[in-house]
């Protein structure tokens, strides 16, 4: 009982009771769901098959996933398939950019990029599909000319491009810069979303 009194004095009675309720109800902080196989502890990420004309996209997605898995740490990331309990693979079905908005002169203000990917998570031995994500779709809007750049937005302020850079770039240069940023953002968002879906098996 001594250690309980010490704990209560340190964190306060209300917080202490709240923690007891959470533990008693079986609450678990972010991580694997109960649906995730308990014997799967390590994973190998294969380069994704790329069915688009965008060279290197499958490798970029696999690299982003490896980075996310490494940062999260729920699974051990291994560099050889024969050392893994499970293998994560996928197919990039499409990656397209279409006009999202135009000005009164029909000049493109914004583009919308759409990434669609199929993924499979399978046990290595014995071979068994544990989870499959079909047609995972992400969208990202990016600028087609300087007038469409919102320099006060959080997204803009979190990148290396600043207001003076925007003024000095031509619309073509800006679109190319924004396209690269959009691509990086999509890879990171896809990796985060896939990791969450995988851990929760939904």
Q: Are residues 41 and 119 part of one domain?
A: yes
The pLDDT assigned to 145 comes to 53
Residue 32 region, left (φ>0) first, then alpha (ψ -120 to 50), else beta?
beta
CATH code for position 176: 3.30.160.150
Cα of 66 vs its chain's centroid, Å: 11
Q: Are residues 157 and 179 part of one domain?
A: yes
Query: Tokens 């953002």 map to which residue?
Result: 185
Q: Are residues 87 and 16 part of one domain?
A: no
Residue 103: pLDDT band with limits 50, 70, 90 = confident
pLDDT reading at 193 higher than 90: yes
The pLDDT assigned to 49 comes to 97
Provide the terminal-to-terminal Cα distance of the chain, rounded to the nearest Å: 42
Mean pLDDT for 173-190 is: 82
The pLDDT assigned to 174 comes to 64
Report the mean per-residue pLDDT for the chain.
78
The pLDDT assigned to 111 comes to 84
Q: Are residues 61 and 4 part of one domain?
A: no
Q: Are residues 126 and 104 part of one domain?
A: yes
The better pLDDT of the pair 1, 55 is held by 55
Q: What percent of the chain has pLDDT over 90?
A: 50
The pLDDT assigned to 160 comes to 54
pLDDT reading at 110 higher than 70: yes
- Domain holding 154, by residue range, is 33-200
Residue 97: pLDDT band with limits 50, 70, 90 = confident
3-state secondary structure of 184: helix
Instruction: In whole angstroms, give the CA distance from residue 123 to residue 193.
Output: 21
Q: Are residues 83 and 8 part of one domain?
A: no
Please, where are the H alpha helices in the chain?
Answer: 2-11, 13-24, 57-72, 154-157, 163-168, 171-200
């Amino acid at each position: 009982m001594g250690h309980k009194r010490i704990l209560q004095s340190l964190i306060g009675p209300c917080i202490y009771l709240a923690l007891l309720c959470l533990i008693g109800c079986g609450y678990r902080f972010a991580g694997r769901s109960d649906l995730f196989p308990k014997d799967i502890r390590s994973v190998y990420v294969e380069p994704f098959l790329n069915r688009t004309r965008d060279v290197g996209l499958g490798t970029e997605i696999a690299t982003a996933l490896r980075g996310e898995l490494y940062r999260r740490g729920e699974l051990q990331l291994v560099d050889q398939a024969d050392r893994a309990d499970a293998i994560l693979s996928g197919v990039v079905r499409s990656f397209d950019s279409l006009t999202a908005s135009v000005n009164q002169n029909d000049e493109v203000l914004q583009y919308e990029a759409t990434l669609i990917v199929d993924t499979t998570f399978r046990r290595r031995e014995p071979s068994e599909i544990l989870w499959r994500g079909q047609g995972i779709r992400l969208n990202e809007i990016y600028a087609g000319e300087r007038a469409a750049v919102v320099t006060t937005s959080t997204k803009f302020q979190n990148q290396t491009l600043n207001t003076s850079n925007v003024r000095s770039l031509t619309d073509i240069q800006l679109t190319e810069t924004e396209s690269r940023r959009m691509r990086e953002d999509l890879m990171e968002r896809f990796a985060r979303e896939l990791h969450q879906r995988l851990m929760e098996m939904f």
